Structure 1
Amino acid sequence: MAKNKTTATEKSVDAFLNAIKDETRREDCFILVELLKKITKQEPAMWGAGIVGFGSHHYVYDSGREGDSPNIAFSPRASSIAIYLSGSFADRESLLSKFGKHKTDKGCVHIKTVADIDRAVLTKMVTKHIQHIKQLYPDKS
């Protein structure tokens, strides 16, 4: 079975974020780090080369594929910041309607800048997302 490409690393989150050329995007990423630290009560870690994650869980799919993944994560991209949020947590659509300017795809919500979103709604979405992840993949330790 193929090995996961995106795994936790020892790389520095601060060094990664400080290397972002766009000043607004860099500042927004540091704002997200502080907000997600407050919500999760966990320190950020690099996952792969470009994902900042908080906490982790072990998953096993019906296919037998398994691995570890951050409970919540984001990744600065060229044109947006991708926040990795499950597509199926409670009240997702209702919360997204109040979230502010964003785009969505499979498992991400894309924002241009933190100024475009309602941080209180982001807090609710992250909390519900993590609850959903913990229900799907309970800690077996």
Structure 2
Amino acid sequence: MSQNKTAPTSASVEDFLQSVEPERKAVEAQELDRLFRNATGYQPQMWGPSIVGYGRYHYRYASGREGDYLATGFSPRKARHSIYIMPGYQDYGGILARLGKHKLGKSCLYVNRLADIDLDVLGELIRAGLKDLDAIWPVQPQ
């Protein structure tokens, strides 16, 4: 059975966040970390080399494939922040309409600058995503 490419690591979240470049992205990454900690109540853990995850869940599909994955999190990419809101198949149109400037992927948001979005609405979206995920696959702390 294949393993997920993105897996939890023992790398330091603080060291990673301090290494983010450019400096503006590092400051925003610290702000996202505070927001995710407050919205989830979870301590962060690195998933792969560049994703900061909060909580985890175990899934098992009808095909027999199973594994663990981060419940929510973000990655401060150079071009834009990738914000992982799980599950990706729920309709969050009402919340997203109030979020501000973003692009939407299957299960993530892309945000160029935090000043472009309403962080209170992002917190609401994180909590809604966790609640919906937990109804399908129970979410656990790291």
Q: TM-score normalized by structure 1?
A: 0.92
Tell me the amino acid that sits aligned with residue 89 of structure 2.
S
Tell me how far 1:138 sits from its aligned partner. 2.6
Structure 2: distance between partners of 1:105 and 1:47: 19
1:65 aligns with 2:79: no
* Residues 66, 29 of structure 1: alpha-carbon distance in 2 compared, 3 angstrom cutoff: same
Structure 2: distance between partners of 1:109 and 1:97: 13
Residue 100 of structure 2 corresponds to which residue in structure 1?
A: 100
1:42 aligns with 2:67: no
List aligned pairs for 1:125-140, cutoff 5 A. Answer: 125-138=125-138
Partner of 1:32, secondary structure, is: helix
* Residues 51, 118 of structure 1: alpha-carbon distance in 2 compared, 3 angstrom cutoff: same
Tell me how far 1:70 sits from its aligned partner. 1.2
Q: TM-score normalized by structure 2?
A: 0.92
1:89 aligns with 2:90: yes
* Residues 139, 120 of structure 1: alpha-carbon distance in 2 compared, 3 angstrom cutoff: closer
Contact 1:13-1:52 within 8 A present in 2 as well: yes
Mind listing any 5+ residue stretches in structure 2 that lack a counterpart? Answer: none
Contact 1:9-1:45 within 8 A present in 2 as well: yes
Tell me how far 1:22 sits from its aligned partner. 0.7
Residue 31 of structure 1 corresponds to which residue in structure 2?
A: 31
Post-superposition CA distance 1:9-36 (Å, at most 9, x none): 1100111111112111111110010011
Mind listing any 5+ residue stretches in structure 1 that lack a counterpart? Answer: none
Partner of 1:64, secondary structure, is: coil
Tell me how far 1:41 sits from its aligned partner. 1.0
User: Which one has more relative contact order, counting CA pairs under 8 Å at least 6 apart?
Assistant: 2
> What is the percentage of aligned positions where both structures have the same residue?
37
Residue 14 of structure 2 corresponds to which residue in structure 1?
A: 14
Contact 1:89-1:128 within 8 A present in 2 as well: no
Partner of 1:63, secondary structure, is: coil
Tell me the amino acid that sits aligned with residue 74 of structure 1.
F
Tell me how far 1:139 sits from its aligned partner. 5.9
Contact 1:20-1:26 within 8 A present in 2 as well: yes
1:3 aligns with 2:25: no
Tell me the amino acid that sits aligned with residue 111 of structure 1.
V
Structure 2: distance between partners of 1:103 and 1:14: 27
